[in-house]
Amino acid sequence: MKRLLLTCLALVCACQMIFAQSAAAQAPGPLQTVLQAHAKDVAKPSRKTIQPVIDAIVASGLEPVPGFLSAWADKSVWQRKEDGLFFIGEEVAKRTYALTDVDSGAVVAEVAKKELKQLKPNSGVRGLIATALVQFQLSDPNPETRAAALLAIERAPGAALLAPLRASIPAEADPVLLARKTRIERLLTIGYDEDTAARVAAIEEMSGDLGVDVRAALNPLVARKLNVATELPEGENIADILIPGEGDLTVEAAYDLLVAAEGVPPRTTPEMIKAVLADNINGGFVAGVPVAQFTDLQTRLSAYAKLAAAGQAPGLVNDAEVQSALDLHVFYETYAEPNAAVTTAAEAALSSISTRVGLNQSLDLGLDAISLASIYFLAAIGLAITFGLMGVINMAHGEFIMMGAYTGYVVQQVIPNHTASIIVAIPLAFAVTFAAGVAMERLVIRHLYNRPLETLLATFGISIALQQLAKNIFGTQARPLTAPGWLDGAWAINDVVSISYIRIAIFVLALIFLAVFLFIMNRSRLGLETRAVTQNPRMAAAMGINPERVNMLTFGLGSGIAGIAGVAIGLYAKVTSELGSDYIVQSFMTVVVGGVGNIWGALLGAGMIGTLQKGIEWLNPSNTLAAQTYMIIFIIIFIQFRPRGIIALKGRAAGD
Amino acid sequence: MSRSFIAKNPSVLVFLAGLALFTLLVTVFSEGFGVGGLSTSFVKTLGKTLCLCLVAIAMDLIWGYCGILSLGHFAFFGLGGYMVGMWLMYARTEIIVEGALAQGAIPPTSQEVIDGIGTQIFGVVGSSEFPSIWAFSDSLILQLMMVVLVPGLLALIFGWLAFRSRVTGVYLSILTQAMTLALALYLFQNDSGLRGNNGLSGLQNLPGVSASQDVVSIWFLWASAFALGAGYVLAAFVVSGKFGSVIRGIRDNEARVRFLGYPVESFKLMLFTLTAMIAAIAGALYYPQAGIINPAEIAPIASIYLAVWVAIGGRGRLYGAVLGAAFVSLVSTWFTGGQAPDINLGFYTIQWVDWWQVILGLSFVFVTLYAPKGIGGLFDLIKTGEKS
């Protein structure tokens, strides 16, 4: 009986102890348990040790994990000093925090700050946490969060993200995001899938894609590393075997690699020989050879050989020894990716992509050439009137372009709205340069008709004076002429082909000018009179046309068009006092190459010069100066074969 | 023959006498040889002006006498400067490099010296190799021949291409301007082999000559005066004989000269090449006095200024070209050198540095319109005044 009593007592005691414990703290939830298992690493995380912890937390698959991770990254997780448990803390009063249980999400206590310790993961750790969070954000109801998660994957792709990304695809409702997800899934498959067949399939699928991201996914796979060994190793993904002295690998580079890899003695360079000789000078002699004789390499070599034989210098490593050392080794390049099937597919895909990129680049080059041609056409069309039709060499034409550009700049100082200012600037620039042209025609050119060389000189004088005037007024620094906002940016057809809206606008403007020119010359009274005066001024005067008036107006028209061209050119180039002189030679070339007196000739000339310049630049991209040089030489030679230009006037109209 | 051509050009004797007097006076007042009074930099300016007068004579021959407005003669002038500059730079750097390498314990090999010179000269353009165009730069004689041969050959090829396809008048002017632009743009590149836009510098130091700049400047003045005198006599000789009559005929009516059976193209080509060579010699004397040559010197605008000088001086007469070049370039130096006093108008201060170009440009228009004979036309007025 006594024994029974004792047993009962013991049981009661035990029960009491259990109850007492549960009253002090509830049993920890499942997430808390996981956290407590790694309490030390969680409290003091470092970038090197935290990944397994994060993996363990994520692997638990618990519902509150994403919330906890984001709170952790936000530095709002606190550890209670008393029992070491982790809570999400929120400041409710000064220095007092409400603690939320990580599992249940319920507020369990309000505690003073001094009893808590804040977890402060550094940025490296926060990055890892963010990567872990991405897989939860991929299925977030908010599309913006999903888009942000996709961006995070694109920035830092990794093997761990492939599975969650795949899992999130079937449930994706947004078609745009679905497309992005599918694309990123393909790219990740290329880089990280464990199944070789799946990777090869993904590579083949993407091999027609021009996107930069595809090339960025493929290039690291086929990155090569140069290695050296005595014999070719087994089991490595070898890209190529190189023979020193053939192809890209020079003998020197190969031997340097050998020196670095195997520690063989470096090649004896002339500098080393010289240094060794200088160290061993003994009373004006080195190994019995007078120092003064060392103006010859052969003497130096023989003295060095004597030193080496005497053990005073390291042995001479000459070409023969270098070659024999190289012959004992094999040089090979390995792929960064060990899987041969993948690298073969990637190489094939890259070569097919580069073919397509090449095609698209030539398309892009074509667009560039057209836009350059339209700029030359704009610069030259005024000249096509004054020089082509009237035969007046106006070397100040470039300065009219400059005046137009400066007019645009001044208008923008007065009217800050860019769209409105451009709309005002175009007619104003026309008016200003029209007036300038008329004034010049009346004051100077009128007296010099039929004396082209004198006209050239006089207009040169005006050009010099105008340029310096612009410098005096506006200073030497470039002035900005800003395009309206809707002309910013570029029309990107794909990752290779794009053209800026300004260039499209200049192209359209060039087309409009062409139409206006054709209309004025062929359909208007002024055009009729101009053609009449050009062909035979006396006969035209006999018909009642006033040639002086017609000449004045025609010259003004040509100058005015130069002013509008100036506004357009100013939008895309900087406005300086030298703006005009940069274009004057090319403009004359355009008109001369195309054929004087014919607008279609100017168009063809501009097209030819633009294409030519872009083509030469493409052949030698680092050097645009050389492109201009070769272009001018080409034009000089071209004029040999067609001295009157592409479209030559025939018969009486050709004049002379 | 020689009496007759001087008799046809009485200005030759007057000019030579004046040039000799001028040289003598400058020498007497120089710091290097005389009593002082003219600063060395001014002596250099005068020496450079003589070279500009020589290239103006070349321009006058081709433009004033033959009617070809070449806008490329300053390119030949610059090329001449580059050719002599290559030797100056090579020889001077060689002395420096040899001096530096002789400091070492081991005497240098010839290859080391050449490598050192290459690094020294082409280091600024990121290279150390000698381009093939420097092949003769170690020989003064060969390089001096290049002064005449390279621009002459360029003029010959260009002229042959241009004249045989009957490019005339303004078209030819634009074409020569394009050639100048192409050459300048080519030289602006770093891999042109002539140090890109750095150009060649330190040319005022004659290698192996220890005389001071005061003395060297006078030597160059003498050389320039001699070259100008010789160039003037040559030009006067050329324009006085039958050759001169033909080229004047080409200027006045090319077609008629051709119908008379003269090979117009050959005459033009000969004159073009000859004047290019004269321009190159002028440049070879000019740039050692200037000290530096870079591609900006042969920009198209320089050739236009050359035309401006000749036009203001009065084209079609040799002394006109000399007068124009001397007058305009000295006045330009005076105005742009900041020596001219600024004019304060109260609301605006006229700074001549800024406004001189405007005046030059407008005076050019004025001369073209109202005084096509230029300054030289004043002599005609005096002559007619004497007669009446």
State whether A416 and A555 are in the same domain.
yes
Distance from the Cα of A621 to chain B's closest Cα (Å) equals 13
A29-64 pLDDT tens trace: 788 888 888 888 787 777 778 888 888 887 777 778
Q: Are A88 and A102 in contact (CB under 8 A)?
A: yes
- A342 domain-assigned: no
Interface of A with B in 77-116 (CB under 8 A): none
Alpha-carbon dihedral A168, A173, A179, A182, rounded to 10 degrees: 20
Strand order in the sheet with A96-101: A107-112, A96-101, A86-93, A77-80, A116-118
Q: What is the pLDDT of residue B58?
A: 95
Q: What is the pLDDT of residue A131?
A: 77
State whether A583 and A650 are in the same domain.
yes
**Spatial separation of the C-alpha atoms in residues A458 and B312, rounded to whole Å:** 12
**Spatial separation of the C-alpha atoms in residues B338 and B336, rounded to whole Å:** 5
Question: What residue of A is the nearest CA neighbor of B308?
Answer: A457
Query: Closest Cα partner for B213 from B81, B32, B27?
Result: B32
State whether A477 and A611 are in the same domain.
yes
Distance of CA A216 to the CA centre of its chain: 14
Q: Is A473 on the interface with B (CB under 8 A)?
A: no
ipTM (interface pTM): 0.83
Range name among B38-52, B93-107, B286-300 with the lowest pLDDT average? B93-107
* Residue type (1 letter), B38: L
Q: Are B163 and A640 in contact (CB under 8 A)?
A: no
* Residue type (1 letter), B319: Y
**A626 contacts in B (CB within 8 Å)?**
185-186, 189
| Residue A123 or B330, more confident | B330
* Residue type (1 letter), A43: A
Q: What is the pLDDT of residue A22?
A: 44
Question: What residue of B is the nearest CA neighbor of A475?
Answer: B354
State whether A505 and A626 are in the same domain.
yes
State whether A285 and A416 are in the same domain.
no
State whether A526 and A624 are in the same domain.
yes
| Structural tokens at position B204 | 């005022």
Q: What is the pLDDT of residue A7?
A: 60
Helices assigned H by DSSP within A384-444? 397-414, 418-443
Beta carbons within 8 Å of B387's beta carbon, 6+ residues apart: none
| Structural tokens at position B332 | 């330009």
pTM of the full structure: 0.78
Identify the residue among A584, A593, A625 best suited for mutation to test binding to B, counting B beta carbons within 10 A and taking the highest.
Answer: A625
State whether A535 and A413 are in the same domain.
yes
CB burial readout B330-345, b (16+ within 10 A) else e: eebeebeeeebeeeee
CATH of the domain at A544: 1.10.3470
Q: Which of B178, B307, B358 sits opposite A636 (nearest CB)?
A: B178
**Spatial separation of the C-alpha atoms in residues B162 and B155, rounded to whole Å:** 10
Angstrom CA distances, A447 to A240, A442, A519, B308, B365, stand at: 76, 8, 30, 19, 11
Phi, psi (rounded to 5 degrees) for B14: -60, -45
**A278 contacts in B (CB within 8 Å)?**
104-106
Q: What is the mean pLDDT of residues B225-254?
A: 92
State whether A290 and A167 are in the same domain.
no
Most confident of A83-92, A232-241, A543-552: A543-552
Under an 8 A CB cutoff, do A636 and B169 touch?
no
Query: What is the length of chain B?
Result: 388
Task: Classify residue A90 by burial, with Cβ atoms within 10 Å: 0-12, 13-18, 19+.
Answer: middle
Under an 8 A CB cutoff, do B189 and A448 touch?
no
- A30 domain-assigned: no
Q: What is the mean pLDDT of residues A464-486?
A: 87
Phi, psi (rounded to 5 degrees) for A332: -145, 155
Distance from the Cα of A593 to chain B's closest Cα (Å) equals 11
- A401 domain-assigned: yes
* Residue type (1 letter), A180: R
Q: What is the mean pLDDT of residues B18-44?
A: 88
Range name among A221-225, A491-495, A527-531, B147-151 with the lowest pLDDT average? A491-495
Range name among A200-209, B157-166, B298-307 with the lowest pLDDT average? A200-209
| Residue A360 or A595, more confident | A360
Q: What is the mean pLDDT of residues A133-143?
A: 79
Please state the domain extents for chain B.
2-387
Distance of CA A639 to the CA centre of its chain: 39
Under an 8 A CB cutoff, do B368 and A457 touch?
yes
Q: Is residue A289 over pLDDT 90?
A: no
**Spatial separation of the C-alpha atoms in residues B67 and B60, rounded to whole Å:** 9
**Spatial separation of the C-alpha atoms in residues A505 and A539, rounded to whole Å:** 42
| Structural tokens at position B94 | 């060689």
B195-222 pLDDT tens trace: 888 889 888 888 888 888 888 999 999 9
Q: What is the pLDDT of residue A652?
A: 52
State whether A626 and A520 are in the same domain.
yes
Q: What is the mean pLDDT of residues A229-235?
A: 80
Q: What is the pLDDT of residue A6?
A: 57
| Structural tokens at position A331 | 């040089």
Q: What is the mean pLDDT of residues A443-472?
A: 88
Instruction: Using alpha carbons only, give the angle B335, B340, B341 rounded to the nearest 5 degrees.
Output: 145
Question: What residue of B is the nearest CA neighbor of A596?
Answer: B171
- Beta-strand ranges (E) seen in A414-527 are 490-492, 498-500
Q: Are A343 and A335 in contact (CB under 8 A)?
A: yes
State whether A646 and A587 are in the same domain.
yes
Give the percent of chain A with pLDDT over 90: 10
Query: Closest Cα partner for B326 from B99, B126, B54, B79?
Result: B54
Phi, psi (rounded to 5 degrees) for B205: -90, 115
Q: Are B189 and A625 in contact (CB under 8 A)?
A: yes
Distance from the Cα of A643 to chain B's closest Cα (Å) equals 7
Most confident of A141-150, A307-316, A403-412, A625-634: A403-412
**B298 contacts in A (CB within 8 Å)?**
none
| Structural tokens at position B386 | 């004497």
> Helix-strand-coil percent breakdown of chain B, rounded to 5?
75, 0, 25
Q: Are B307 and B60 in contact (CB under 8 A)?
A: no
A499-557 pLDDT tens trace: 888 888 888 988 998 998 889 888 999 889 988 888 888 888 998 999 899 999 999 99
**Spatial separation of the C-alpha atoms in residues B23 and A150, rounded to whole Å:** 84
Q: Is B208 helix (H, G, I), strand (E, B) or coil?
A: coil
Q: Is A472 on the interface with B (CB under 8 A)?
A: yes
Query: Closest Cα partner for A567 from A406, A398, A385?
Result: A406
Distance from the Cα of B229 to chain A's closest Cα (Å) equals 29
Instruction: Using alpha carbons only, give the angle A197, A198, A199 rounded to the nearest 5 degrees.
Output: 90
**Spatial separation of the C-alpha atoms in residues A383 and B24, rounded to whole Å:** 52
Alpha-carbon dihedral B137, B143, B149, B154, rounded to 10 degrees: 40
Q: What is the mean pLDDT of residues B88-99?
A: 90
| Residue B257 or B337, more confident | B257
Q: Is residue A15 over pLDDT 70?
A: no
- A551 domain-assigned: yes
Under an 8 A CB cutoff, do A468 and B354 touch?
yes
- Tally of domains in chain A: 3
Q: Are A507 and A372 in contact (CB under 8 A)?
A: no
**Spatial separation of the C-alpha atoms in residues A468 and A324, rounded to whole Å:** 70
DSSP A102: T
Distance from the Cα of B252 to chain A's closest Cα (Å) equals 13
Q: What is the pLDDT of residue B250?
A: 93
The H or E element that residue A331 is part of is strand A330-335
B308-344 pLDDT tens trace: 889 888 888 888 899 999 998 888 888 887 777 777 7
| Structural tokens at position A577 | 């006092």
Task: Classify residue A94 by burial, with Cβ atoms within 10 Å: 0-12, 13-18, 19+.
Answer: exposed
State whether A457 and A597 are in the same domain.
yes
Query: What is the length of chain A?
Result: 656
Under an 8 A CB cutoff, do A460 and B161 touch?
no
Question: What residue of B is the nearest CA neighbor of A585?
Answer: B178
Under an 8 A CB cutoff, do A291 and B106 touch?
yes
Distance from the Cα of A471 to chain B's closest Cα (Å) equals 8
Angstrom CA distances, B352 to A553, B325, B356, B379, stand at: 36, 20, 5, 30
Instruction: Domain of residue A301: give its range.
Output: 268-316
**Spatial separation of the C-alpha atoms in residues A112 and A469, rounded to whole Å:** 77
DSSP A109: E
A565-588 pLDDT tens trace: 899 888 888 888 888 887 887 888
- DSSP for A260-321, please give it: HHH-PPPP--HHHHHHHHHHT-BTTEETTEEGGGTTSHHHHHHHHHHHHHTTSSPPP--HHH
Angstrom CA distances, A198 to A171, A177, A188, A203, A205, stand at: 22, 23, 11, 9, 10
Helices assigned H by DSSP within B30-139? 40-59, 73-102, 110-122
- Counting Cα atoms < 13 Å in the Cβ hemisphere of A307 gives 26
**Spatial separation of the C-alpha atoms in residues A226 and A236, rounded to whole Å:** 13
Distance from the Cα of A292 to chain B's closest Cα (Å) equals 6
Instruction: Using alpha carbons only, give the angle A400, A478, B189 rounded to the nearest 5 degrees.
Output: 95
State whether A627 and A508 are in the same domain.
yes
Q: Is A307 on the interface with B (CB under 8 A)?
A: no
Beta carbons within 8 Å of B131's beta carbon, 6+ residues apart: B193
N-terminal to C-terminal alpha carbon distance within chain B: 33
- A602 domain-assigned: yes
